[in-house]
Structures are given as structure tokens and as C-alpha cells.
Structure 1
Amino acid sequence: MTAYFRPDRIQRGNPMTEERTIREIKITRTIDAKPEQVFKAWTEPEHFTHWFGAPLPTISMDVRPGGSWKATLDYEGTEIPFYGVYSEVEENSRLVFSLIDPNDPEFEAKQAAGENEEAVTLTFTETNGKTKLAFRQTGYLPEEELPQAKEGWVSWFDALEEYLTKKS
């Protein structure tokens, strides 16, 4: 599997001295798979590990409201941890979770300000035997990081489609 995630392309920006604004990334994709398959790819480690970026040496998912998730990517020998908590889980139709990046150079300052997590919302809608996947990420992502973050998610969605196509 091709490693789509490129941490070396993310350039962390300005220190937290500027006014913080909530920003969002939205992506909609139609995937040639049933919502059940796409939902499983997002919620079961044995599927998630095949498409989410670089190799995942550690992954855990307690997919329920209040349950936590953690994934550590291995990109060229560098471990990159992400984690969060599920706030909404509607099987095969909706998934909402927080996304926290403790490697962000501004992590401690963001945490002190209560701005250290992004919220990710996914909706899975069946359309003619396919799944319309709507993605939305909101949080205090610096404006200069938005294009790179969106590019990262688009590449992960490409990998998700590739994985699900090979499975069918």
C-alpha cells in the first residue's frame, strides 16, 4: 500500500500570539461500496490500518460515545501519534470524534487555551448502491495549514477508495 500521508509536507505556522479562528475542511466523496463497508473501514482496526496513511504500528478503537481511539503512524521511522474520543456513533450512518495531534509544536499552548482538538464528523449515505461520504473537520487549524491538511485527507480518501475497491 502506498503511504499517502506526508508529514514532511505539513509546515507548522505561527506561534499562538494571533487571534484564533475556528476553521473547517469539508470533503464529499462517493465511494463504490455500501455504507456498512465504508463505516467498518473507519471503525475496525483491521480495516483502518490498511488505508489510513503510513503503516500503523499501534491502533486501538473503542467505537462508542465516550470511547477513545489512538493511531500511531510510522512515517520513515518517525512515529506520529493521533488520538481522540468518539462523541457520536450511529452505525453505518454517522461518526463524530475528536482528533488530537500531540506532536503539534503549539500543542501545550492550544491545550491550555482549550483549543487542542479538532472535531471530525463523517456521514455515510447510501446512494444507488454506493456511499456518499461527507467529511467535515472543524477546529483551530491555522489558515496556512488548511490546504495541506485538506490534501492529506483527500489522499487518505483516495487510499480508502483503493482499499475498498480491492476488497470487493
Structure 2
Amino acid sequence: MTTEQTTAEGFSYTLERTLEAPVAAVWNAWTKAEDYVQWSYAAPGSVEMDARPGGAWKATMVTPDGGQFPLTGSFVEVEENRRLVMGMDVPGEDEPALMTIELTDQDARLTRIVVSQTCDTADKRDLAEQGTTMLLDSLTAFLKTAN
């Protein structure tokens, strides 16, 4: 299920899915470098994750045409197996772009994931939503093979 909304503060999107994996496996996919690199379109060896409040993360993403671009950021909130707020450094912006990931254990084999983000413009929101949809598609495929 995908929902989108515009708020007074900016332009937001929310994506929601039920994943066929235990909540701990979904958590590890987002917070462990060795898991993240397998599904996130990151270049091998480029991912670093320090999943604690204030901890840094970085990854070099690879586009479908083979281009590469580095991303950096920090973990703002970390509630293991429940909630993750990641900040992404954006060139020319004073504040990081925040992405919130919320996990709910549906049962031992299913996890509900809700990803949300607020952007400055509709164009940035649309690009971020498209990228997050690609990530969730890849995460879904990864979890099916990993579990």
C-alpha cells in the first residue's frame, strides 16, 4: 500500500508494506553494512553503518546506468527493531533530509514497514519517493532470499 500527502511544512510521502521476514531481519537489513550492501544498490565495500543515535553512515550508490554517487548521513533516532530515523546530508542544505522507518512485528514471519519523508518541493518528494520505492522493492526481494 502506498499513500502520499502534502503537508503545510512541505511535501511528504509515506510508503507502507508488509514484508515476509521477522522484524530482526528487516532491522539488520537497514542497520548492518553487510546486509545493507546486498539490497540497497550500494557499491561493495562502500557501506559503513554506526547504528546508534549520532552515529554516522555512508554508502556509494550505483545507478542503473553505472554512475556512482556518495551519500553520507547520521542516525538521529534508533529504537532497535522498532524505529529508525536517518538523516542524509544534502549539498547546499543546512539541515539533513530525514527518513523515518517504523517496523511493527506482525507475527514471527511478517513485519510491517512504514517509510516516510518530508521534502522541500514536490519534485524532490517525487524523486525521493521513487528512490524509496526502488529500495523497498529490492529489500523485499532480498528478504525472500535471505530468510
TM-score (norm 1): 0.74
Check if 1:136 corresponds to 2:116.
Answer: yes
Q: CA deviation at 1:22?
A: 2.4
Kindly, what percent of the aligned residue pairs are identical? Answer: 31
Check if 1:22 corresponds to 2:10.
Answer: yes
Check if 1:149 corresponds to 2:128.
Answer: yes
Aligned in 2, Cα 1:87/1:143: closer, same or farther, shift over 3 Å? same
Partner residue of 1:165 out of 125, 144, 147? 144
Q: Counterpart in 1 of 2:76?
A: 87
- Does structure 2 retain, via aligned residues, the 8 Å contact 1:72–1:82? yes
Q: Which runs of 4+ in 1 moved over 2 A?
A: 53-57, 74-79, 144-149
Query: Please, which moves more after superposition, 21-30 or 34-43?
Result: 21-30
In the aligned structure 2, how far is the partner of 1:131 from the partner of 1:147?
A: 25
In the aligned structure 2, how far is the partner of 1:131 from the partner of 1:59?
A: 24
In the aligned structure 1, how far is the partner of 2:127 from the partner of 2:99?
A: 16
Q: Counterpart in 2 of 1:66?
A: 54
What amino acid maps onto 1:28 in structure 2? E
Question: What is the RMSD of the two structures over their aligned residues, measured on CA atoms?
Answer: 1.7
TM-score (norm 2): 0.84
- Does structure 2 retain, via aligned residues, the 8 Å contact 1:120–1:137? yes
Report the structure, 1 or 2, having the larger strand content.
2
In the aligned structure 1, how far is the partner of 2:105 from the partner of 2:66?
A: 39
Q: CA deviation at 1:59?
A: 1.0
Partner residue of 2:89 out of 80, 93, 100? 100
Aligned in 2, Cα 1:150/1:159: closer, same or farther, shift over 3 Å? same
Unmatched segments (≥5 aa) in structure 1: 1-20, 102-106
Q: CA deviation at 1:56?
A: 4.2
More relative contact order, 1 or 2 (CA 8 Å, 6+ apart): 1
In the aligned structure 1, how far is the partner of 2:127 from the partner of 2:77?
A: 27
Q: CA deviation at 1:48?
A: 0.3
Q: How many residues align?
A: 137
- Does structure 2 retain, via aligned residues, the 8 Å contact 1:57–1:73? no
Check if 1:50 corresponds to 2:38.
Answer: yes
| SS of residue in 1 equivalent to 2:38 | helix
Q: Counterpart in 1 of 2:6?
A: none
- Does structure 1 retain, via aligned residues, the 8 Å contact 2:22–2:107? no
- Does structure 2 retain, via aligned residues, the 8 Å contact 1:56–1:73? no
Aligned in 2, Cα 1:54/1:62: closer, same or farther, shift over 3 Å? closer
In the aligned structure 2, how far is the partner of 1:97 from the partner of 1:144?
A: 21
| SS of residue in 2 equivalent to 1:58 | coil
Larger of the two Rg values belongs to structure:
1
